[in-house]
Chains A and B, each alone.
Chain A
């Protein structure tokens, strides 16, 4: 009778406790014949196994995509995808792109104006004219 509880659902704060890598899948597509896939194929042969071992949380898929430029496609936990074309890139450049997709959050790119985003209330509180003292008192 006295006090009742309201329903609420806890919100995620990724990284506060555990950190979940947002990239869940990387798909590497290449063409066997065309020259633009040369760096990509070399990456698959030399670098991919190490890359996959270093990132156990990412599902790695390799599949041919004949007669097309090579691409890397990242799938994210927020159900978005990010695709990067890696035509004519060298091995290390492909690795850079793969790391870029791995580290991305999958969120649509937008301008962030405020440096800090938080779910917590401001520690200092909101300024109130009724509680200000001295010269800070708001005068009408």
Chain B
């Protein structure tokens, strides 16, 4: 234990408990700026944080102690064991307060809720203490705002592309990226001494097959009717991997029930982001502010919708489209070419419906250019976006009498 002169500390008026063991977090002092307005909420949420804090500890601890008060005990001077370090309440964690400030959350959003959003069900099974319910609410809100945004902006998007775009915005990977870009760090392991500003979850034991993780990527293929599902139980490669593992790894793996006791960083992070959105809805102004939050943090991200298409028979699809819409049958015309007999020929093909040019493609062979022209025409159709812009249905959430410009409703996908 090193000796530290008191002069600087005393002038800082910081809580003494931090003097030697932990570095002092000045935001502890400043958390009052966040939590002053949430005094009622902290008392209401004291039941939530009861298991986080020891039961004997009062819920409201003055962060600034009087300077003249003599210190009776210095628990940190006896040992460096983590058990003697007092547990931080969510309102005392500098990391949590900094995350709150970084996200620009209003003062009405209590730190206890943000702290709860950071606790994964795998770390704390109690539903009133973890982010399980919050993340479900957040998922619904995210789905609502993302789907209405996509459907109003791209009314002709095929259903499969709409699903892919939704996944690109609010899928697990995208939300995990959001969480990481918010600067959220994960605790090594959940526990009572962990700072409340860290994401707490139980990590998957090494060697656990991915298909055993709930909502996991990789092998977790949703079972569909009449669809062959790979048989992992009798798969020689999986069996070989399982045989090669050490007894400890096997024990660790088998002690976990799949999807309930352990999760991955990405899944836990995405649930945290969903829970944060739900907290915005619950505490800071309901739907209008949630919409603003989702648009600012999720829908402002860059996703190229036109790169999500994978066509199987674009020329045939374009032909069906023209039949359905009553256009003349599409005809591909060679517009320009160069070097037909050279190593690098280039053909420019336009696809026309009567006099109207629907699309244009460039390729090193005539079929390639023709297919690209059809794809260009189809994307032009599918990615139609109203220029004047329609109102999102959520515009009337707060006030049903708001003037509202309805969006285009498309006939639907082209079936051929």
Residue positions of A touching B, CB distance < 8 A: 1-14, 16-18, 20-21, 24-25, 27, 30, 32-33, 41, 44-45, 48-49, 52-53, 55-64, 66, 77, 119-120, 130
B168 in the interface (beta carbon within 8 A): yes
Given A2-B158, A5-B160, A130-B336, do A18 and B104 touch, yes or no (CB 8 Å)? yes
- Nearest chain A CB to B355's CB is how many angstroms away? 19
CB-defined contacts of A62 to chain B, threshold 8 Å: 12, 14, 23-24, 26
B299 in the interface (beta carbon within 8 A): yes
Most chain B beta-carbon neighbours within 10 Å: one of A3, A21, A60: A3
- Nearest chain B CB to A85's CB is how many angstroms away? 18
Q: How far is the CA of A10 from the CA of B413 in the complex (A)?
A: 24
* Complex partner residue of B297 from A5, A9, A18, A44, CB under 8 angstroms: A18
B402 in the interface (beta carbon within 8 A): no
CB of B302 within 8 A of CB of A3, answer: no
The 8 A-B pairs at the shortest CB distance, nearest first, are namely A17-B300, A5-B164, A56-B101, A57-B102, A63-B23, A10-B301, A17-B296, A59-B98
CB of A2 within 8 A of CB of B102, answer: no
CB-defined contacts of B30 to chain A, threshold 8 Å: 49, 52-53, 56
CB of B301 within 8 A of CB of A13, answer: yes
CB-defined contacts of A120 to chain B, threshold 8 Å: 302
B171 in the interface (beta carbon within 8 A): yes
B50 in the interface (beta carbon within 8 A): no
CB-defined contacts of A8 to chain B, threshold 8 Å: 164, 168, 303-304, 307-308
CB of B102 within 8 A of CB of A21, answer: yes
* Complex partner residue of A57 from B33, B101, B165, B311, CB under 8 angstroms: B101
Q: How far is the CA of A8 from the CA of B183 in the complex (A)?
A: 22
Q: How far is the CA of A64 from the CA of B3 in the complex (A)?
A: 10
CB of B307 within 8 A of CB of A6, answer: yes
CB of A1 within 8 A of CB of B309, answer: no
CB-defined contacts of B165 to chain A, threshold 8 Å: 5
CB of A49 within 8 A of CB of B26, answer: yes
Chain A: CB-nearest residue to B5: A32
- Nearest chain B CB to A33's CB is how many angstroms away? 8
CB of B303 within 8 A of CB of A45, answer: no
Chain B: CB-nearest residue to A121: B304
B416 in the interface (beta carbon within 8 A): yes
Binds A, one of B114-122, B135-143, B173-181, B325-333: B173-181
CB of A18 within 8 A of CB of B300, answer: yes
CB of B100 within 8 A of CB of A6, answer: no
CB of A10 within 8 A of CB of B303, answer: yes
CB-defined contacts of B25 to chain A, threshold 8 Å: 59-61
CB-defined contacts of A53 to chain B, threshold 8 Å: 30, 33
Given A20-B182, A32-B5, do A56 and B312 touch, yes or no (CB 8 Å)? no
CB of A59 within 8 A of CB of B308, answer: no
Q: How far is the CA of A7 from the CA of B197 in the complex (A)?
A: 32
